[in-house]
Amino acid sequence: MEKEKEGPPTGAPVNLEISGTDIHVLGDLAHQIREKIKDIQGLVDLKDNFVKGKPEIRVRVDKEKAALMGLDTYTIAYTVKAAVNGVKVGVYREGKDQYDIMARLPEKDRKSIESLKRITVSSPKGEPIPLTSVAEVSLATGVGAIQRLDQKRVVTVSGDVSGRLANDVIREIESRLTRDFTWPRGYSYRFSGEQREQEKAQAFLSKAFLAAIFIILFILLAQFDSFVAPMIIMTSVLMSLIGVFMGLLLTGTAFGIIMTGIGVISLAGVVVNNAIVLIDYYNKLLARGISSREALVRAGLTRFRPVMLTAITTLLGLLPMATGVSFDFKKFAWDIGSESSQWWGPMAVAVIFGLAVATLLTLVVVPVLCSLEFSLREKSAPRSKTTS
């Protein structure tokens, strides 16, 4: 029974698919590529799935010669098969048991090519014709297995990664294959496995992020009945991205396509809350006839505490996930270095730093943009009155 795998379905970190027409050429290319990239730092357990075939005896029938002697391919093939594998000529019964009687050449005459060349084939007139007169008998190497992908013959070179990011190793492999390796005509390669799954995940998460931004913007436009206020609020999303990349750099965390991408998408719906609360209260103060500057100051002072409390509680709640440190209440002991934190850690780091930076910048940038928008509106108001 195969052990159930945890996490999303992925292939090997390094999975190079070589495609072409001749399986033997593919095997040679796989061997050459392994020799070319085996010394790359971080690349371990390098292997390929090319299976070398065992030696075999091939009988190639010359159809023109066979036709001149009144023979066909089936008759010649049947004679060779009967001589080597045997043919059933009867049944031997002993009580309730019965055994097939097989007729074939003695074992010593089936072990060498020279012995097989002495086989004769009966013509329609009953005359014995040497096998070598109508066919060519040779020793060759067969194919152990043929892998196909999209109707193309494929040999895969795969490996694991240790101490480095898979993307860095793949970039170095691709650099060597394009710079120092000569590819025969009609043969190509592509990376699959974990790399392909990451590309699929990246494409999906990119669409999900754009869809989330569009839905948030649509709701804001409907609620504020204005285009300027939603655009000011959406700047929080851009500021959160600054925090995400800053956090990954400071902590040395790799940008995981799946978990970091999920963190970025979740941030899009979280960081706008602070700007919404600030701008909503600012608009209410303006409606009461308070000046723009005083409204911004009062809105900032009034909403500072709830905005900071919301951000701090969220950050503290995500710290155990980011650091891998938690408390086991059953054993009443600290649990450090949880395995799940390696998977969830990039998402927690993205949300923590993205939310922290976005919160701080929102309290500064959003009032500045609101003040700028009010000033531009005031300047355009006299012109419109004069024109009318």
pLDDT (tens, 9 = 90+) of the chain, 388 residues, equals 444 444 554 567 888 888 888 877 888 888 888 888 888 888 888 888 777 766 777 888 888 888 888 888 888 888 888 888 888 888 888 888 888 888 888 887 777 778 878 888 888 888 888 888 888 887 776 665 667 666 678 888 888 888 777 778 888 888 888 877 788 888 888 887 666 777 777 788 888 888 988 898 888 888 888 888 888 888 888 888 888 888 888 887 777 777 788 888 888 888 888 888 888 888 888 888 888 888 888 888 888 888 888 888 888 888 877 777 766 677 777 666 666 666 677 888 888 888 888 888 888 888 888 888 888 877 776 554 444 4
- 19, 152 in Cβ contact below 8 A? yes
Tell me the CATH number of domain 198-376, given options 3.20.20.70, 1.20.120.790, 3.40.50.300, 1.20.1640.10: 1.20.1640.10
Residues of the chain with CATH 3.30.70.1320: 14-51+146-192
Residues of the chain with CATH 3.30.2090.10: 54-141
Q: Which fold has domain 14-51+146-192?
A: Alpha-Beta Plaits (3.30.70)
Q: What HEC string does the chain produce?
A: CCCCCCCCCCCCCEEEEEEECCHHHHHHHHHHHHHHHCCCCCEEEEEECCCEEEEEEEEEECHHHHHHCCCCHHHHHHHHHHHHCCEEEEEEEECCEEEEEEECCCHHHCCCHHHHHCCEEECCCCCEEEHHHHEEEEEEEEECCCCEECCEEEEEEEEEECCCCHHHHHHHHHHHHHHCCCCCCCCEEEECCHHHHHHHHHHHHHHHHHHHHHHHHHHHHHHHCCCHHHHHHHHHHHHHHHHHHHHHHHHCCCCCHHHHHHHHHHHHHHCHHHHHHHHHHHHHHHHCCCCHHHHHHHHHHHHHHHHHHHHHHHHHHHHHHHHCEEEECCCCEEEECCCHHHHHHHHHHHHHHHHHHHHHHHHHHHHHHHHHHHHHHHHHHHHHHHHC
pLDDT, position 10: 58
- 209, 257 in Cβ contact below 8 A? no
Q: Does domain 54-141 have CATH number 3.30.2090.10?
A: yes
Residues of the chain with CATH 1.20.1640.10: 198-376
